[in-house]
Amino acid sequence: MKNLFKTIFFATAIMTMAVFASFAETERVDNLNSDFLPENAVDVVITADVPEYYNMKIDVMINGIDFDLKYREDLPNNGYTRTYPISAGVYDVTVFSNEDINDEYTYEVSPKILDTSKCQNVKIKVKSLGKDIEAGEEDNHEVDESIGPLDVEPEVIDLSDGKTYGTFRVKLVSYEAAITHVTYQITDGKTVYDIDLKRDYNFAADVLLPVGSYYELGSPKFDLDEKASWNNEIRCTWSHKYNRGTFGNYYEIVENNTTLLDDLEIMMIQRGDVFPFDSYMLFQPMIKNERDALIESHAQAIQESLNETIETTETTEAETEETETIAELKPVEDTTSVDIGRIIAIAGAVVAILIASVAVVLKLKK
């Protein structure tokens, strides 16, 4: 009899604990679903448009964190399109490449201030300075602003003076954005012919010359782009790319034939160093000024954005405190009512079990 009573007692206690445990677990799950979920991150798509043979890593700095794009043939857009989860907010965006040690490319990004509530796409344009520019493409970078179309035919320059002539095609090896035109000279020993190679014609010309023998002479004479700055320590000389250090070649102009000169280049000499004409170096002062102005503009925009965010946050917090103060009262009453109902139900179940247990014990005693 005692054993039966103990069994009933322990069964009642276990059932009671199970009911309370279920109640507590339900409350825990409800709290997790309503109060403790983390804020969802925003998926931001970063896409870079790069020149055909570009394969460097691109560093995309968003709020000081590096979200890099690496070249991979097995990925869409060769790895230059990636999606990153980023916490919602307003951030400054800057782009560069640590692998572009010679500063051969420019990196433009849009937007420069990313507000994830309004935009989830960051677009990057990588451009080569004066190179890899496709025909008809518009280049908005200040360095290349005055560059003409590159798909035009060479300029035809008639220096034949009505005599029997042949064609002398002259072209610079590289496209030099820092100069508007350069004068190349050739002579038959009697007359010096000035051949003006213009940027608008990609520094190429078909020159009609009287039939005969000619040789090169002189040094480059050119006009700078208005955005370029000349360094008086530099002087320039002509050379041929495939036989550097030589100039003064002879050319034979034949009737109804074209004589080709396509390895002509300008060399710079500075403090004993000799190197190919460097347009980027002449644009550096302007680029530095633009970068300084851009950094200052970014800093100002970020500060204004932060001030606006702080003001908005303070206003929102004040409104939230007032709302929560009013809203806190009613949920307490409702929750209390629900909790009391549950407790009463549990207590009733326990009492009913105890009464039934006692009744069974008394009946067995009889």
The per-residue pLDDT for range 285-328, each reduced to its tens digit, is: 776 776 677 677 767 778 887 787 787 777 776 666 666 555 45
The Cα–Cα gap between 359 and 201 comes to 112
pLDDT digit string (tens) for 77-113?
888 998 888 888 778 788 988 888 778 889 998 888 8
Identity (one letter) of the amino acid at 204?
Answer: A
- Residue 189 in 3-state DSSP? coil
| CA–centroid distance for 161 within its chain | 55
| CA–centroid distance for 247 within its chain | 44
CATH number of the domain that residue 237 is part of? 2.60.40
Please check whether residue 249 lies inside any domain of the structure: yes
Please check whether residue 231 lies inside any domain of the structure: yes
Which among 264, 282, 300 is the end of a domain? 282
The b/e string for 134-165 (b: 16+ C-beta within 10 A; e otherwise) is: eeeeebebebbeebeeeeeebbebebbeeeeb
Residue 66, token pair as written in the block:
């590096």
Say if residues 359 and 11 touch (Cβ distance below 8 Å).
no
pLDDT digit string (tens) for 332-347?
444 444 455 556 666 6
Whether residue 266 is found in the same domain as residue 189: yes
Whether residue 82 is found in the same domain as residue 170: no
Residue 104, token pair as written in the block:
């051969």
- Average pLDDT score over residue span 262-278: 89
Which among 240, 267, 282 is the end of a domain? 282
- The number of folded domains in the chain is 2
Whether residue 165 is found in the same domain as residue 110: no
Provide the sign of the torsion angle of the four alpha carbons 107, 269, 261, 165, taken in this order.
positive
Identity (one letter) of the amino acid at 317?
Answer: E
Which among 90, 113, 128 is the end of a domain? 128
Whether residue 182 is found in the same domain as residue 277: yes
Whether residue 165 is found in the same domain as residue 100: no
Task: Give the residue numbers spanning the domain of 59.
Answer: 42-128
At residue 194, the pLDDT reads: 96
The Cα–Cα gap between 351 and 347 comes to 6
At residue 35, the pLDDT reads: 37
Whether residue 161 is found in the same domain as residue 92: no
Whether residue 110 is found in the same domain as residue 198: no
pLDDT digit string (tens) for 104-125?
889 998 888 888 878 889 999 9
Whether residue 123 is found in the same domain as residue 167: no
Whether residue 124 is found in the same domain as residue 160: no
pLDDT digit string (tens) for 180-224?
899 999 999 999 999 999 988 889 999 999 999 999 999 999 998
Please check whether residue 344 lies inside any domain of the structure: no
At residue 278, the pLDDT reads: 83
pTM over 0.75: no
Say if residues 59 and 107 touch (Cβ distance below 8 Å).
no
